[in-house]
Chain A
Amino acid sequence: MGSPWRYGLGGAVLVLGLGLVAGLASAEDPSVEELRRDLESMKQQLQKLQDQIKKQETVIEKLSAEKKPAAAPAAAPAAPPTETAAEQEERIKRQVTENIMRKIQPSLVAANKTFPSQFNPAIGLIIDTVGSYSGEHGGNFELRSAEIGLSASVDPFVRGYAVISGSNQGGFDVEEAAIVTTSLPYNLTFKGGRFFADFGRLSKFHDHDLPFVNRPIVLDEYVGGESQSDGVEASYLVPISQYVNLTAGWYNKMGAENERVDNTIPRNLSEFTYLGRANTYYSFTDAHSVDLGVSYAGTPRVKEDLNNGRSLVDWDLTYRYIPLSQASYRGLTWGTEVLYNQETRPVGGFVGGSAAEVAEANLARGLGVTSLDGSTGSGQAIDTSTGQVFQRKGAVGLYSYLEPRVTRRFYPGFEFQWVESIDPGIGNTLAYSPYLTIWASEFQRLRLQYTRLEAPGDHDNEFFLQWTVILGSHVHGFRDR
């Protein structure tokens, strides 16, 4: 009874279902607007169909009621079991489902084939390119770095990340490759491998993350560029309501371009570099805050420094004005780092070459020291193997920058630098750099910078155009804020 109606309806539902699947499968990259319109149209059709089903069911019920008295003689033999309405409905539903599944099965299989790659780490690439012109040295286009970042959880206890960088210097360099614990108790985190040590503020920023084109001179000279280190580091968030973070580190050396220590040769415990850092944060109002930190990196014995120790201290201060309701459009950052380096260094800097050449250089520098007994009697010492004269020196250097945010796109800024040379007998460096950063989007940045440099033997006007883009995975790290 009523079967033709039901079959017809079932067929219509089937066609609609298949049509939906086919439509979805064949659509190539439809816009969201088109999809929404299609969906609305489908909804309307479905509603009409449901209304029609209801009407037809009413008709079927009426017809069934009319036929019942005539069709049921008391003595008639039992009819062969036929499908009830509910069973028919169930069967049609099953058929529709099976057909839809048959259609989408290839897509599911294809999706499953990508399953192994779903464990791949998040991957990002940062391209940092700089065009520069210097009054003294001419111009150059430089692919400063193409930096691939990989990051993923290893297991429930640690995560790993790596930053591999290529540049126009040639070759690839593993800038960072580290393991970090994620679930230690007592607010502790341990890190091991190669990473940027938690020293100061900007020394642990990659070049492309700096607020200006070049790394501050004081970080290049005192730290050795980025604070890259091979070793281990422990960090502790003090469990009080004030934010206080303490870090202790133990490294072969600190500084990507620090050549005092060979990273590949085992060394005595006194020749490692040890770090301590404390940093805190004060919020004056919702909009005004300051980050303060002090870091100490000590190497008890540096062979290159005639086996004397080296101490490096960094005080960092970052003031921020961020109006909460306009955080993307207005603001101000004032960042300053002051570093103090105490070390036994060659007077006038290292001189390569033979003992005769060193002696000549010494004379040229007015040292006039020729005794090779290891001391000069004037606070100076001589490297008996090369004849180079050494002197212990405490040197201070700093940078300070001010960067207002005037729109969402434009960040003008001004950086001031003053650095005493770590080598005795060499003058100071002064530099100032107005710059303008233009964020085309969150993932593309242009920067224009002029630098006036007053360095010993180098008085220069430098112009820079930096263009940086981010492809793929990108995270907003707490440390880079």
Chain B
Amino acid sequence: MRRALFLLLTATLLTGRPAQAADKIKVVATIPDLADMTRQIGGNLVDVTSIATGVEDIHAVPMKPSFAVQLNRADVVVLMGLEAEHAFLPGLLEASRNPKIQRDAPGYLDASVYITPLEVPTRIDRSLGDQHPMGNPHINLDPVLAKDMARAIADGLSRLYPEHEAEFQSNLKAFDTKLDAAIARWEKEAAPLKGKKLVSYHPDLIYFAERFGMEPIGTIEIRAGVDPTPGHIAELEDKMRREKVDFVVREVQYPSGLAESVAQATGATLVELPVMSGGLPDTKDYISFIDHNVRTMVKAAQGGGATGG
């Protein structure tokens, strides 16, 4: 018995790679969008990893012990905030044993601090679904809000490492310039989307819709996080026909069958979109991710097919 314990200990200690010396600021971001922004702002000063790869549902990212190890060594954790990561981050932070990055510690950088969220509930009640008391957390889908997120990251890093403030702020400016140019292009390209109505699987497209003048009509889920029932789908389809909804958006982490049948039944165009960068092969960074979503929606609006490819 004791021998078995000893053998297991020895095996795990031997197979584990030794911790590497740290010369860069170690940052763990919860999603690839934040990782990309942090890389652009931190430049050569940071070493950034992301917990999610981009294909996950942010509310159901598996809590792997290897993430606890990453967080254990981190100087900074960057999160989207507004309780978006409630399913995995609090547990992982506790398991990380790293006081530097616990909630409200200096190394805990919440990218939503400069943002006024939408859909802040007026009543907190589980009958209304898996609510986010601080508002809808899917802020990363609005590229204008992404500027505020990047600013929060830059300001957070500057507070933590004032000796590098000038570099962080200068990198932020460069990122903003790039993003501003892209936003101007997207706003022009997205003109055909103005006034279009959409139904998504989960209420995660509200910021994207707001930015490009679209109108979200409902969701396939009954409430956020609650799977649909046949009754709800029938009601939704009736409403979609009445309101002449243009698109059914299936976020890539949700099943395709139901979204397809709802689109078919109502004559809406089915569109498949990622909700984080990395969600599809051509969405490697934040700008290419929004680029993909705008182009896909515009193509669908112009009758170019029902895929997000």
Contacts and interface: CB of A to CB of B under 8 A. Distances in A.
Interface of A: 29-30, 32, 35, 182-185, 187-189, 237-246, 276, 278, 280-281, 283, 286, 289, 291-292, 294, 296, 311, 313, 315, 320, 322, 324-329, 340, 408-409, 441-443, 471, 475-478, 481
B122 A32 contact: yes
B53 A286 contact: yes
Nearest to B7: A294
Interface stretch (B60-68, B166-174, B230-238, B281-289): B60-68
B158 to A, nearest CB: 24
Contacts of A322: 62
Given A325-B253, A478-B68, A294 B8 contact: yes
A294 B88 contact: no
Interface string B68-106: 110011000000000000111011101111010010000
Q: Which label, helix, strand, loop or mixed, suits the secondary structure of the B interface?
A: loop
Nearest to A286: B53
A476 B64 contact: no
Interface-central residue, A187, A244, A245, by most chain B CB under 10 Å: A244
Contacts of A289: 64
B226 interface: yes
B99 A182 contact: yes
Given A182-B102, A311-B1, A322-B62, A32 B13 contact: no
Interface string B112-123: 000000010111
Contacts of B227: 408-409
Contact of B5 (A278, A408, A441): A278
B291 interface: no
Nearest to A188: B97
A408 B91 CA distance: 22
Give 10 nearest A-B pairs by CB, closest first. A242-B16, A240-B16, A478-B91, A325-B55, A243-B65, A281-B65, A183-B99, A478-B95, A280-B12, A241-B17
Given A278-B12, A328-B60, 6 more contacts: A29-B122, A182-B99, A240-B18, A278-B9, A325-B56, A441-B225
Given A242-B17, A286-B53, A478 B4 contact: no
Interface in B169-210: none
A237 B61 contact: no
A476 B91 CA distance: 6
Interface in B215-253: 225-227, 252-253
Contact of A243 (B20, B56, B69, B225): B69
Contacts of B225: 441-442
B57 interface: yes
Given A30-B122, A289-B64, A478 B92 contact: yes
B19 interface: yes
A327 B86 contact: no
Nearest to A328: B60
B4 A313 contact: yes
B1 A296 contact: yes
Contact of B16 (A185, A244, A329, A442): A244
Nearest to B129: A441
Contacts of A329: 255
B1 A244 contact: no
Nearest to B56: A324
A183 B103 CA distance: 12
Given A237-B97, A478-B63, A326 B123 contact: no
